[in-house]
Amino acid sequence: MLAGVSDGGTVSVPVIGHVVCAGFPSPAQDYVEGNVELPRWMAPNPAFTFLFKVGGYSMIKARIFPGDLLIVDRSITPANRHIVVVDIDGERSVKRLLMKGGRVRFAFENDDFPSFPMAEHTEYLIFGVATGIYRRLYEAKHETKR
């Protein structure tokens, strides 16, 4: 079991490290960089929840920034407008899921990024739905007393 429940109403959720591979690693022990304690309300399905490190600026209009840890739940069925972690033709990314008339599209949340057309036979696999963000607002400066 990758996630566990503590006595204080928190759950231990694995942080999945960046792994270069053809596809996205399942949250197996080999890819876990560590665990973070979250309140149960932030990870109600701890066995299906992991933190995904965000890089890049493609989702800033959704308030997702480089360095954030995205809370991703694999037990949620993806729906229109959800933010998802997806593997598109072997590349892992975070995108907005758009579904219309039986067609699936993935969109950036940054006006500086052009939309990209997805060919009809593009392979994709949605790994989970983003449910929250774990973020540090600033680095505290440690001052020495004189």
Share of the chain above pLDDT 90, in %: 36
**In 118-136, which positions are buried (b, 16+ CB within 10 angstroms) versus exposed (e)?**
eeeeeebebbbbbbbbeee
13 contacts 35 by C-beta, under 8 angstroms: yes
Say yes or no to pLDDT of 142 above 50. Answer: yes
Dump pLDDT digits (tens) for 38-92.
999 999 999 999 998 888 888 999 999 988 889 999 999 999 999 999 888 878 8
Give the whole-angstrom CA distance, residue 106 versus residue 86. Answer: 9
Residue 33 has pLDDT above 90, yes or no: no
pLDDT surpassing 80 at residue 98: yes
Taking the whole predicted model, whether its pTM rises above 0.85 is answered as no
The DSSP bridge pattern shows strands 103-107 and 91-100 to be: antiparallel
Contact 65, 55 (CB under 8 A): no
Kindly indicate the confidence band of residue 146, based on its pLDDT and cuts at 50, 70 and 90.
low
Q: Got the DSSP string for 17-54? A: PP--SSS---S-GGGEEEEEEEEGGG-SSGGGEEEEE-
What pLDDT score was predicted for residue 16? 79
Q: What is the pLDDT of residues 69-83, one digit of tens each?
A: 899 999 999 999 999
Above 70 in pLDDT, residue 7? no
Active site residues: 58, 95
Can you give the pLDDT at residue 129?
96
- The answer to whether 12 and 34 have CB atoms below 8 angstroms apart is no
Residue 115: burial class (beta carbons within 10 Å; 0-12, 13-18, 19+): exposed
Strands (E), 25-136: 32-39, 49-53, 69-73, 83-88, 91-100, 103-107, 124-134
Nearest of 105, 95, 99 to residue 58 by alpha carbon: 95
| Per-residue model confidence (pLDDT) at position 82 | 97
